Each structure stands twice: as structure tokens, then as C-alpha cells.
Chain A
Amino acid sequence: MIQKNSFLISLKNAGFFRSGRWLVRGVNLTVNSGEILTLIGPNGSGKSTTAKMAIGVSKPDEGTAKKRKGLKISYLPQRISIDWTLPIKVNRFMNLTGQVRRKEADEALSLTGAIHLAKSDVRTLSGGEFQRVLMARAIARKPELIVLDEPVQGVDFNGEIEIYELIRNIRDELKCGVLLISHDLHVVMAATDRVICLNGHVCCYGTPMTVANSKEYKALFGARAVSGLALYEHRHDHEHLPDGSIQSKDGTIDNDCSPDHGDQSQIYKYSFEYNRAENHDG
């Protein structure tokens, strides 16, 4: 059994440089076993890049990435396409990077609602079905760390909530760490321990639980939360200018993404206030 709260992966001041610009810079993060860390941020904010650096798929160009030795990772990338010339059935796909017992594979497929696809050819699956199969494969390996890059893309809305619930259950059962990438925080909220908001650097981070558990928040945790959180993303203490430089609240412009600015406590306050204001209006 994996020890709870033992160190799995970390990034220290990590940055990734490609084609003349820093895709992401100054990222610090740690994932311990038994916890769910969610990365959120707009398109092109470096979420996937950060996750890839953290698990060793890409090498950081500055800073360091650390990984516990022999760590068993399951990775669900954002985009994956199977070449049409590859004849591969779901059952075989479940064993892609290591033998998984048939019973465990079937259990995992049942959990993600894809058991009826077990004998299907992978290339005939729809986007949502394939996503469920990918998820099942990640679970069946019984990993110590599971990294999910937008695991619900293409999955219908009810399926989305089920999958997030499933992620939490898996964490409870396996005591594994979870690194989750998402842009729909309103659904992720309930199933995450800590959130890091990225936009080329760490804009803010914090624990959503205190907020998520409060009565008011739960009352507001409906459709309104979507717009509330969308607003929150533009209410940082700094602005990203078109040329990539960063203007702080006090007006100073900085070319670097210094990781220490950004106020973590604001992460829910803004959405909270915004929602309340909206409610009064209505």
C-alpha cells in the first residue's frame, strides 16, 4: 500500500522554452500520494507542458523536475490518435505499457462505462468512448500517480461528472496522487485538493475545499458558477499584455513571469463575490 502524503513528483522553478519564447516559466508544484492537484488556465497557458515536464515526458529548460524513483505513472494525454493501419482491440490496448490482469481490465472498463467496448477495434470508437477507454487503461494499471490531461473532452455532461467522481474514488481506493488538467473548474472543484492556475506562469494557487464546503458556495455551485469562474480568470492582480509582458496592478511592467506574484487567496473570493452580485441582480 502506498503511504499517504509521500512525495511523488515535483517541479522547482521549471520553465520550458520553444521557438523563441517561454511556454511556461517559474513553475513550482508538488504532488503527494493521496492528493488531487488540478491545473487550470486558458488555452496556451502551459498546462500540458507543465504536466509533461513534471512526469518526464519533456525536459525543463530551466529549473528541475524530480520524480520518486520507480514511480508507476498512468498518463492520459490531451490528444491521441491511433493510426488506422494499427489493428488493435480495446482488450489489447489495456495492456499497452504493461500486463494487466483480465479481471482488473474489465473492472476498470466497467467503472468508466466502457465494458461493452472491450472487444471493439480502438479505431472505431467515438471520441467520448475512446476517452473512457483511455481512462480505464490508466486506472487498470493501478498507478501511484495518475496524470489526466483534460480527461473529459468529448464526454457527455453526465459522463463528465461521473468521471470526476470516479477520479476521486480511485484516489481514495488506490491512495494514488492525481495531477489533473482541466479548464472547467466548476465541475472539478468538488474533486480536487489544490488548484494551480497557470497562464505562462503560476498565477495563483490554493485549496478550494474551504470554499467548496461553505454553504453559500454550494448554493451558488450551479450554472452561475461557470460565469463566475470565467470572470475570476481575468481578475488576477496582474494583466497579460499582448506582447507577452506582464503589467502588475500597480502599473509596473515586467517581462518575466516571476512566480511569486499572484495572490492565492483570491482564487475563490472573486467568483464568490461575482456570483452573489449576480444573484442579487436576478
Chain B
Amino acid sequence: MDLPAIFQNLAESLDANVLQEQRYLLLLDGLKTTILISIGAIALGSLLGGVICRMRMARRLGVVVPAKIYIGIIRGIPLPVMLLLAYYVVFASVNISPVWVAIAAFAATFAAYAAEIYRAGIESIDSGQREAGLALGFTRVQTFTHIIAPQAVCRILPVYKGEVINLVKMTSVVGFIAVQDLTRTADIIRSRTFDAFFPLVLVAVLYFMISWLLLMTLTALEKRLQPRRSRQRSAGHD
């Protein structure tokens, strides 16, 4: 007897929070912004992280020290503060969309963490692997790309996955610089409909789904990269 009532409530909430005034478009926009910032920051940050990691692992002190300072500073500043600094100080005089400022700030942060994750992964590979590669006649770069990197990736991915999810969730603070992301949208809807429960739970579910999809993608990649006994071509014979 109560069930229909609950369903009816839900349907009403759905109608009020999502359908009325085409709020689903607003939500969709927020979702897009969140995804854009996340993917952009992850892609840029991963690349920048590679550069920082390379610097951090260099032999010349003049290269290592800047990398160390960068990592140290970034890790010591809360992300929302970074974001505000980027928006109101670094890019204050530049006319640029706050979405790009957000991507830049998140990428810079992600890079510092990624660099340390990469370094841990690379340093965990036994130096014998490098020596064996060099002894065979590979150059240093070839040794890295053919021997060290494939093994390091397998060890990096589990930690990297966690960092990626972390970033997606941290993008929820971009509202500070007036970017309408998923969280901000939920907040706007809430202020219009005075319903806190439905929009917030809906957004929580959406965040969970983005994280889950990313996690699945990276896990699939991780599985693909695991050393396998037989390669696909010879799978039938073994």
C-alpha cells in the first residue's frame, strides 16, 4: 500500500528536479563539464607527470632540484586553494574560460602525484633488467621503452587508478571559480526546488558511475598488460 506512494514521490521528485524547466539539460551540461575537466586534467597531468618524473630521476642536480621543489610545493597546497590561486592570481589578467583554468590547475596537481607514482614504479624494477637490456646492445632509451616501461606500467596502474578516481572526485570543488560542473548543477537545482535529497543523490550516483567506468577501463588495460603465458597468435597451439 505504501509502495505506490513511494514511487509516486519519486516520480514527483524526478519531475520536479530533472524534467521541469528542462533541468536534465542543465545536469547534462554539468556532467559534460565534470568529464571534460577530469579527462583533460588526467591526460595533461599524466603527460606533465612523465616530464616531471624524468626530471626528478635525472642525474644533474640542476634538473632534479626544480622537480623536487615543484612536487613539494604542489603536494603541500590544498587543491581548492590551488584552484583559487590559479583563477585569481595566475590567470587573473588573462581572459580565459574558467574551465581551462580548472583543467590547468588539476593537471598541475595531478602531475606532481603522477610523477611520484611513476618514479616509484620505475625504481621498483630491478636494476638487473636495465643492465641486461644495455648488455644486449639496446640504447638507454630503447632499454626504457622496451624493457623498463612495460614492466613499470603494470606496477604503476593500481596506484594510478586510485589517483585518477581521486581527481574525478576532487573536480567537485570547481564551483569555487564559478564553473558549473555536476556538483554545482545539483546545488542550483536544489536552490530552485528546495529538495536536497534527490539532486544530491542523483549527482552522487553519477560521480560513482564516472569513477566506476574509468576504473573498469583502467582495470581492463591492466589485465591486458599482464604478462601472459602465450601470445594471442599462438594461443590455439598451446
Co-complex (A, B)? no
Residues of A within 8 A of B (CB): none
